[in-house]
């Protein structure tokens, strides 16, 4: 006779967990008579974002700037993943391939609480 048992398992997803992170519930999988139940394994995946791309613990954004602003300076305003408004002043002349680094505005580092990657 087969019996169905409902059980609620809770996963406390931590900020900064990367794609491929595995969460295992030992012996919570399928059971068979006289066999140890299988482990139940969940694997974290990431949904694509319309603005940011993840690169390790860093977040990358590509932002097009009109030529006039590239030569004279501008301010880039964006909303972070945690809904803060960030104003980034650009005061130097920008050239194709220019990359700016904003420290500690990337993804939280899961194994180092309070630390974050960078925004590029």
77 close to 86: Cβ distance less than 8 angstroms = yes
Q: Give strand pairing partners of 53.
A: 60
**pTM metric for this prediction:** 0.78
Write down all domains in the chain, each with its CATH number in brackets. Answer: 1-46 (no CATH), 47-120 (2.60.260.20)
In order along its 120 residues, the chain shows pLDDT tens digits of 677 888 899 999 888 999 999 999 999 988 888 889 899 999 999 999 999 999 999 999 999 999 999 899 999 999 999 999 999 999 988 888 899 999 999 999 988 989 999 999
DSSP category for residue 72: H
């Amino acid at each position: 006779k087969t019996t169905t048992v409902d059980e609620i398992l809770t996963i406390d997803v931590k900020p900064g967990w990367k794609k491929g992170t595995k969460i295992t519930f030992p012996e919570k999988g399928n059971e068979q008579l006289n066999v140890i139940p299988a482990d139940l394994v969940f694997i974290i995946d990431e949904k694509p974002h319309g603005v940011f791309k993840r690169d390790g613990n860093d977040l990358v954004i590509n932002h097009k700037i009109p030529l006039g602003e590239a030569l004279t300076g501008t301010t880039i305003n964006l909303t972070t993943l945690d809904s803060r408004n960030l104003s980034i002043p650009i005061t130097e002349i920008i050239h194709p391939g220019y990359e700016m680094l904003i420290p500690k505005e990337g993804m939280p580092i899961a194994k180092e609480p309070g630390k974050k990657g960078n925004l590029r």
